Each structure stands twice: as C-alpha cells, then as structure tokens.
Structure 1
C-alpha cells in the first residue's frame, strides 16, 4: 500500500509544483548582476557547469528551465520528486550523489557536457553541510574541460524552510537579485591536493557572492536571520 501511494504522489506532486511555480515566480522581478568575465563567457554560447548552493535550487530550476542542461539529482526515493520536476522543466536528470551512485553520475554528467549540454550541480551536495563545497564539480570540470560558473540569488521577501540548508523560495511579487560569478577553469589531471585548493576557491567565491547578494536586498545571511517583517518561515 505504501508503494502505491508513493507512486501516486510521484506522478502528481511534481506536476502540481511545476504549474504552481510558473504562476508564482512569474510575479517576481529578477535583476541579474554579472561579473565582466562571466558576461563575456556566457555570450560565447559555450557550455559550462552551473554551481549553486542547495538552498537556492528551486528558483534556479525555474529560472534556467529554457536552457539545455543536465542536473544531478539524489538517487534517493525523495530525489525522484526532484527528478520528475526536472524533466517537466526540460532538464535531463542524472541520478546520483556523494553517497549513492556518485561515480556513475559523475561520468554521466561529463558525457552530457561532451554532448553539448550544460550541467547544473548543487555545490554543497544533497545532504550538506550547507554552503560547504563538495569536490564533485571540481572533478567534473577537470575531466570535461568546461568551466564552473557560480550562481547565487537572494530576494527581499522570502519563505524559508526549516530544512538542513534552509531552502528559500521568493514570495510572490518579490524582487530577486541573481549574481553570476567569474568562470572557474580547472586544469586537467589535477592531484588530490589541487582538488582541495580549487574546492576551497569555489566555496569562497560562492560565499562571497552569497554575502554580497543578501546584503544587496537588505538582508543578512538567510540561514542566520530570524522571522521578521517581509519574511516567512515554515
């Protein structure tokens, strides 16, 4: 019986979420802030690896849905909801994480890059710790020859969930500011020590952008603030 209800939920919930999100986010105003080098790279039309923190995935799924991209999604049962939602939005879901089917997922993502697809990776993984970069996308960039482009967003009015990453959803009619960092190029055949160096560089850049974008919307770090005017929490 539990499997029956799970199958029903997986078949219906992603469709409901997809429809609601299109209506919800259509009311938001989006302002994009690009580094000079990121703007120049994006204008080339070349493929890249988009990296972002887990808290921000839901809005970014919506924002980038018109781009041809593969996204890494957890291999867990709960990840099936996200995989179905990704498919509805036009993405190619690749199942795997640092704990389950990680090596195969990494190979599949590299294959997608070589086919001319962009890839999107949650830099802090499916289980965290929050805002601590994992090495997966560094290896992906090294083996594919494609750069990592960091993306971070914040909004002046948000709904913040009490999850491990404090998942954020902009409230209707919110102003969303999206910051795009400089492309990070990783040399091929890097050593384990070099992986750690670049991992820290990516983490520092994402957190630099994170602090800047939340400051721009007049808010402190979303995972430290408490409930106040203009902010909801569930």
Structure 2
C-alpha cells in the first residue's frame, strides 16, 4: 500500500500534466470570442478572475504576452500545488500563499515581483472563499505598487459545474468560450471598500 505522501507525489507527477492537456483540448475545441482591448498597459499589471473561472485563465494572459512573465498567487494547500504545477506547463510561475496561510510573506513577494517587472495573477475570492467576495490582498498589492488591475471573466456556453465552494466551472468541448477582459483599472487612490466594490462589480459584469 502506498503511503499518503507517496500517493501525493504520484498525483503531482501525473495530474498536472494531464490537466494541462485537458485545458489545451478544451480551449482548441471551443470557438473563442475575446471581448477585450487590443493591447494592455506596457507596465506590469495584476490580472484577476474568480476562483471558479480559473481553469482557462492561461489563454487570457497569453493573448497579450507570447512569452509569459507572470506569477500566480496560489495557496499552500495540496490542491494549490496541483494548480501551480499544471499552470507551470504554460510557463507561469507561482507565489505560494494566501490570506489564510503564508499571507504576509506572499504579499511581500508579490509586491517585489511586480515591482521587478513580472505581472501578477490572483483570484480575489481564493483560496477558500466566500465565493465572489474580494479579499484585501489584491487591493493591497495594487495600492502599494501603484499598478493597475485587469479583470477577466470567462464564460463558456456549455460547462460542467462542480459542487465546490467556488462552483468551479469546466467548459465542455465544442461550445463557445467568451473572454471578457477589462481595460486596466486604477484603484491606487480609492478607499478599500470603494476598490472592493469596483473589482467585484467588474468581475460580475457578465454573470448569468
């Protein structure tokens, strides 16, 4: 019998690779519509989407950057490690930590990374919710660095929805993927609650 650690090690070898193939398969078998600016800011920026729409986020970023220079905020839980390794197949780096575990350390690293020229990817309601509630981290990073936020909604025409806290969405093949990508928004001069409201409303603009 395999130990728990051996099972996890095996999962980390197999699941991220298979996961990356599934993401590519789903992307290339769907029609794509990008409702998005032609270009984004030349400066480093923060890209945000809800945790439940995270699966297809690589292609929102790769629309603008052929060579990725992005670090994604991923929790230190085991499922976070699986996500980190899966997105590594798309050239994405990670910052490990969340608002509940390793938070301060991760925030400091994120601020250093974006100031040095890397973009940052973050799920404002991750890693454990509540769903569609914007935590302080994204606002703190944007205000400390004076960097802008790009909001991304990913709406497939056909999908499976998991019974997880975030109601995680997996697009079905042979449908249509709609990417709604905002112009960069500036929250550097806003009060926290104003910024929180702006981000939440922007990420719910196309909610059914």
TM-score (normalizing by structure 2): 0.90
Query: Bigger CA drift: 16-25 or 116-125?
Result: 16-25
Larger radius of gyration: 1
Q: Is the 8 A contact 1:33 1:180 kept in 2?
A: yes
Q: In structure 2, what is the equivalent of residue 214 of structure 1?
A: none
Q: What runs of 5+ residues in structure 2 fail to find an aligned partner?
A: none
TM-score (normalizing by structure 1): 0.80
Query: Bigger CA drift: 107-116 or 58-67?
Result: 58-67
Q: Deviations over 1:40-79 (max 9, x none)?
A: 761x432210111111100113543543211000111221
Pick one of 20, 23, 26 that aligns with 1:21: 23
Q: In structure 2, what is the equivalent of residue 118 of structure 1?
A: 119
Q: What runs of 5+ residues in structure 1 fail to find an aligned partner?
A: 212-220, 222-234
Pick one of 46, 54, 64 that aligns with 2:43: 46
How many pairs were matched up?
202
Query: Bigger CA drift: 19-28 or 106-115?
Result: 19-28
- Once the two structures are superposed, the pairs formed by residues 1-234 of structure 1 within 5 Å of their partners are 1-34=3-36, 39=37, 42=40, 44-65=41-62, 66=66, 67-187=68-188, 194-207=191-204, 209-211=205-207, 221=208
Give the Cα–Cα distance (whole angstroms) in 1 for the partners of residues 168 and 4 of structure 2.
27
Give the Cα–Cα distance (whole angstroms) in 2 for the partners of residues 68 and 174 of structure 1.
30
Deviation at 1:107, TM superposition (A): 1.1
